[in-house]
């Protein structure tokens, strides 16, 4: 049996009781922290709470060579992931591989950043369009910096329908956790190249450390927000589209947004 368990958002206590029971009962416990991670804890603290050794898996172990899956043929295996295990991950592939090997699978859900963002900002979940991800720029073979324009295009398309865009930020082994500040700078660089008015007049909302005692939620014009100190990771960004009156009020009152946001009410 392979049990996918979402760990929630911030520390070892965010796991559900059902998840905790399943980890305690497991013969083997694996975890991946490259799609997301819990910044308020460490593997050692998790192991203490679970009373189990946690084997850390790389992207390679999960997506290309999941040899460890074989253990789930005759043992109870728990596979842990930050947030909800199936939200903005490709772990359905792992589940399908397991099922093809004749291994039974089940899911134990965890709180996800996708729902936390609606809760913290007041932006309604059903008014979001397609999500985007911002990767770190890379160097082309000619040695020039290449910035992905895909997130800019996704924001542009969602905005044309009045929809909000949730923007996931890169987690890179070498470069670290991308901040809201870097993400906004990259989007504004694309704006100055393309000049289509998607970001320069946009209000954005940055969120840091959802699930912690003191999450930071700050709304403002992209240009102003790019210098704001959001503190430690993880960070995520939202670019709102048209706003319902209550959403606009929440951004002003709960996210310290500029009063002009009220002009964006549909």
Ligand X SMILES: C[S@@+](CC[C@H](N)C(=O)[O-])C[C@H]1O[C@@H](n2cnc3c(N)ncnc32)[C@H](O)[C@@H]1O
Interface residue list for ligand X (CB under 6 A): 9-10, 35-36, 82-84, 87-89, 112-113, 168-169, 171, 207, 209-211, 234-236
Is position 84 annotated in a ligand binding site? yes
Nearest residue to ligand X, by Cβ distance, number only: 83
> Is 118 annotated as ligand-binding?
no
Three-state secondary-structure class, residue 145: strand
CB 155 → ligand X: shortest distance, Å?
15
Q: How far apart are CA 111 and CA 211, in angstroms?
A: 9
234 is in an annotated binding site: no
Question: 12 vs 84, which CB is nearer to ligand X?
Answer: 84
For the bound state, the minimum distance from the C-beta of residue 11 to ligand X, rounded and expressed in Å, comes to: 10
H-state helical runs in the chain:
17-25, 43-50, 59, 91-100, 113-121, 150-160, 180-194, 222-225, 245-253
Eight-state DSSP code of residue 232:
S
Q: Is 169 annotated as a binding residue?
A: yes
Q: What's the closest the beta carbon of residue 144 comes to ligand X, in angstroms?
A: 26
CB nearer ligand X, residue 111 or residue 199: 111
Q: How far apart are CA 208 and CA 232, in angstroms?
A: 7
R_g over Cα of the chain: 20
CB-nearer residue toward ligand X: 184 or 210: 210
Taking the least distance from each CB to ligand X, the nearer of 112 and 154 is 112
* Shortest distance (Å) from residue 136 CB to ligand X: 12
Nearer to ligand X, 90 or 160 (CB): 90
Smallest separation, CB 235 to ligand X (Å)? 6
* 49 annotated as belonging to a binding site for a ligand: no
Please write down the long-range contacts of 56-62, taking CB distance under 8 Å and 24 or more positions apart.
56/30, 56/31, 56/32, 57/30, 57/31, 57/32, 58/32, 58/34, 59/32, 59/34, 61/32, 62/32, 62/34, 62/91, 62/94
- Binding site residues for S-adenosyl-L-methionine, as ranges? 9, 84, 87, 112-113, 169, 210, 235
């Amino acid at each position: 049996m392979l049990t996918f368990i979402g760990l929630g958002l911030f520390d070892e206590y965010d796991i559900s009781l059902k998840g905790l029971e399943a980890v305690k009962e497991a013969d083997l416990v694996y975890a991946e922290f490259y799609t997301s991670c819990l910044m308020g804890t460490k593997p050692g603290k998790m192991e203490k709470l679970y009373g189990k050794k946690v084997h850390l898996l790389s992207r390679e172990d999960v997506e290309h060579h999941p040899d460890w899956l074989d253990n789930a043929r005759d043992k109870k295996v728990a596979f842990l992931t930050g947030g909800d295990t199936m939200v903005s991950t490709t772990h359905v592939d792992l589940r399908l591989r397991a099922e093809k090997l004749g291994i039974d699978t089940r899911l134990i859900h965890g709180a996800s950043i996708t729902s936390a963002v609606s809760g913290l900002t007041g932006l309604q979940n059903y008014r979001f369009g397609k999500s985007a991800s911002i990767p770190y720029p890379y160097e082309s073979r000619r040695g020039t910096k290449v910035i992905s324009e895909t997130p800019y295009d996704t924001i542009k398309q969602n905005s044309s329908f009045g929809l909000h865009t949730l923007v996931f930020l890169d987690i890179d082994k070498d470069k670290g956790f991308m901040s809201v500040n870097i993400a906004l700078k990259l989007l504004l660089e694309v704006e100055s190249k393309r000049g289509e008015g998607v970001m320069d007049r946009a209000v954005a909302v940055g969120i840091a450390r959802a699930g912690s005692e003191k999450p930071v939620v700050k709304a403002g014009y992209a240009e102003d927000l790019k210098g704001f100190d959001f503190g430690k990771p993880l960070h995520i960004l939202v670019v709102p589209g048209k706003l319902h009156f209550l959403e606009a009020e929440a951004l002003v009152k709960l996210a310290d947004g500029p009063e002009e946001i009220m002009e964006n009410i549909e």
